[in-house]
């Protein structure tokens, strides 16, 4: 049975309050065990619309792009799924390399190294390929995503995490923007350090074999909902390694071969 209007409103409030106030909540599926993936994407859309509506009144929050999640085989196996997921990036999530991330505003954050795409053209459809994506990308850049699931102990089912906008919290994009044909995105190696010590390593191929392939999947999925990418969108293409937890006082640095580096500190 589809969710009632009041259940939709209640769930959106529940997840947005947890994010704004920085506390953990029990999974939505504990209360709504029949929640489907389609319900979850609809909740995610309502959550972003509400965030933008509320934010416009205060600080001018707007949609600035899209993020992909569960793009590695390892993470899909961990969740027992065969598909990636997508969520939205809004302007209030944008962090800066020189401005510390405030730990007190977060719950149990983790950092993920990702390759960001800046779209040079709109891209919409249901049958697009990796090549179509690369033609529409203006620049690629190193990025760090901060994920911060609103759920207790970072544990959830697939509909839960989709409804929670795929654990999105903040993202930081490095200053080295290059043309996509100047680098082999699948072969790029990456080393992520925490407080100067190597924490994890990865490669572009961890993202469904090639980040552009992952983005083609996302655009085709968005296309099923009559949506797509827009010129100027930032796309976080998916983690190239495992995510690393951090706390107040920590600093995180990701060094990508041929693509430069990106970092942040946490106050």
Residue nearer to Mg ion on the CB measure, 7 or 191: 191
Q: Among Mg ion, ligand 0L1, none, what does residue 165 contact (CB within 5–8 Å per kind)?
A: none
Interactions with ligand 0L1, residue window 62-121 (CB under 6 A): 67, 69-70, 112
SS3 call for 199: strand
In whole angstroms, what is the distance from residue 150 CA to residue 125 CA?
Answer: 32
Residue sitting closest to ligand 0L1 (CB): 69
Residue nearer to ligand 0L1 on the CB measure, 39 or 145: 145
SS3 call for 253: strand
81-106: b (≥16 Cβ within 10 Å) or e: eeebbbbbbbeebebebeeebebeeb
For residue 3, the tally of other CB atoms under 10 A from its CB is 18
Of these, 112, 160, 233, 250, which contacts Mg ion (CB under 5 A)?
A: 112
Asked if residue 72 lies in contact with residue 207, where contact means CB atoms within 8 angstroms, the answer is yes
Longest C-alpha distance within the chain, in Å?
A: 52
Interface mask toward ligand 0L1 for 145-174; x: CB under 6 A: x-x-x-----------x----xx-------
Residue 148 touching Mg ion (CB under 5 A): no
Residues that bind Mg ion (CB under 5 A): 112, 145, 239
Residues that bind ligand 0L1 (CB under 6 A): 67, 69-70, 112, 145, 147, 149, 161, 166-167, 239
């Amino acid at each position: 049975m589809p969710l009632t209007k009041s259940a939709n409103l209640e769930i959106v409030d529940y997840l947005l309050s947890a994010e704004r106030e920085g506390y953990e909540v029990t999974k939505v599926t504990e209360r709504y065990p029949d929640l489907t993936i389609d319900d979850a994407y609809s909740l995610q859309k309502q959550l972003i619309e509400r965030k933008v509506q509320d934010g416009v009144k205060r600080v001018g929050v707007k949609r600035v792009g899209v993020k992909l999640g569960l793009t590695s085989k390892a993470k899909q196996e961990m969740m027992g799924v065969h598909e990636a997921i997508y969520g939205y990036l809004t302007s209030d999530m944008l962090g800066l390399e020189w401005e510390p991330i405030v730990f007190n505003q977060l719950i149990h954050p983790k950092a993920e190294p990702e390759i960001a795409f800046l779209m040079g053209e709109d891209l919409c459809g249901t049958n697009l390929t990796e090549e179509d994506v690369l033609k529409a990308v203006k620049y690629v850049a190193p990025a760090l995503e901060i994920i911060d699931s609103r759920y207790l102990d970072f544990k959830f089912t697939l509909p839960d995490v989709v409804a929670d906008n795929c654990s999105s919290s903040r993202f930081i994009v490095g200053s080295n923007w290059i043309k996509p044909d100047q680098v082999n995105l699948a072969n790029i190696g990456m080393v992520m350090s925490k407080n100067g010590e190597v924490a994890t390593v990865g490669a572009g191929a961890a993202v469904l074999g090639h980040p552009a392939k992952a983005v083609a999947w996302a655009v085709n999925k968005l296309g099923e909902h009559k949506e797509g990418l827009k010129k100027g969108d930032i796309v976080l293409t998916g983690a190239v390694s495992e995510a690393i937890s951090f706390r107040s006082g920590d600093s995180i640095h990701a060094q990508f071969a041929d693509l430069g580096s990106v970092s942040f500190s946490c106050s």
